[in-house]
């Protein structure tokens, strides 16, 4: 039977074909969050490398680990959203399954979120990108155009290290690439954003699942939709409604 005790933190990891990167990453998360009440949810997004069997075996030895498998890949935003819906923690923290996001920064992310009740999202900002030059240039272009159109004051929305209030996240509109626009979406709903500098690590195993041109084009096209949302959406009334229902 799964553990039903109260927890504060749910760590959600979207992953596809990361069988070599996940075991050490899980160990690092346990070390980083020692002393806190937490769970880890790995969203296996249609892996074909045996990740599902490895995770099932690991769950037998790790009471804090939960895994959910998508039979076919649904994408990162879907994995993060489903993980947040399934989460039992008040705070949700995300990091990519490739090991490039260092779990040692999780406490700093959490402190930025817990230290101010007006902050809805703590966003990691990579200070030393370890990707190839094509990905770095594509990311700079996308971030510059996004910042100009949305005014979210975030230089790096592609960093997988994020921490947010679960209820506030679930109030946001869901769409396929929402994970790239979380700062703008949280700002639109009246939340403040905290930025935390983090160190990016090189990928140790496997290859990136994202192309440069397709990711850049998808992000630029979605900018127009998010810009429309920012102009038309009003502050979500759900937090006030929750107060009235208590």
Angle between helices 212-232 and 133-150 (to 10 degrees): 10
Which residues sit opposite 122 in a β-bridge? 163, 194
At 28-68, the pLDDT tens digits run 999 999 999 999 999 999 999 999 999 999 999 999 999 99
Residue scoring higher pLDDT (153 or 7): 7
pLDDT at residue 1 above 50?
Answer: no
**Domains observed in the chain:** 9-245 (3.90.550.10)
Q: What is the pTM of this model?
A: 0.81
- Grouping H, G, I as helix, E, B as strand and the rest as coil, residue 150 is helix
At 72-131, the pLDDT tens digits run 999 999 999 999 999 999 999 999 999 999 999 999 999 999 989 999 999 999 987 655
Angle between helices 22-32 and 106-114 (to 10 degrees): 50
User: Cα dihedral angle (59, 64, 69, 70), rounded to 10 degrees?
Assistant: -170
| Residue listed under structure tokens 């990136």 | 208
**DSSP 8-class letter at 174:** P
Burial state string for 105-128 with b = 16 or more CB within 10 A and e = fewer than 16: bbebbbebbbeeeebbbbbbebee
CA 213 to chain centre: 22
Structure tokens, 34? 């020692």
Mean pLDDT of the chain: 84
């Amino acid at each position: 039977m799964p553990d039903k005790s109260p927890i504060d933190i749910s760590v959600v990891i979207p992953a596809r074909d990361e069988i070599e990167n996940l075991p050490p990453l899980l160990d690092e998360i346990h070390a980083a969050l020692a002393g806190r009440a937490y769970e880890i949810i790995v969203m296996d997004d249609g892996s074909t490398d045996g990740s599902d069997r490895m995770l099932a075996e690991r769950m037998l030895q790790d009471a804090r680990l939960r895994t959910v498998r998508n039979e076919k890949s649904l994408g990162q935003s879907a994995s993060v959203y489903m993980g947040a819906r399934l989460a039992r923690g008040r705070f949700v923290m995300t990091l990519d399954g490739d090991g490039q996001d260092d779990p040692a920064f999780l406490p700093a992310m959490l402190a930025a979120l817990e230290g101010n009740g007006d902050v809805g999202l703590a966003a990691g900002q990579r200070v030393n990108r370890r990707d190839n030059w094509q990905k770095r240039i594509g990311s700079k272009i996308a971030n510059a155009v996004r910042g100009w159109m949305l005014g979210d004051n975030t230089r790096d929305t592609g960093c997988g290290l994020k921490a947010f209030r679960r209820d506030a996240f679930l109030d946001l509109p869901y769409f396929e690439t929402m994970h790239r626009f979380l700062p703008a979406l949280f700002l639109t709903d009246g939340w403040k954003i905290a930025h935390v500098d983090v160190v990016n690590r090189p990928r140790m195993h496997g290859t990136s699942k994202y192309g440069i041109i397709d990711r850049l084009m998808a992000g630029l096209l979605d900018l127009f939709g998010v810009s429309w949302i920012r102009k038309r959406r009003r502050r979500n009334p759900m937090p006030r409604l929750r107060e009235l229902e208590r």
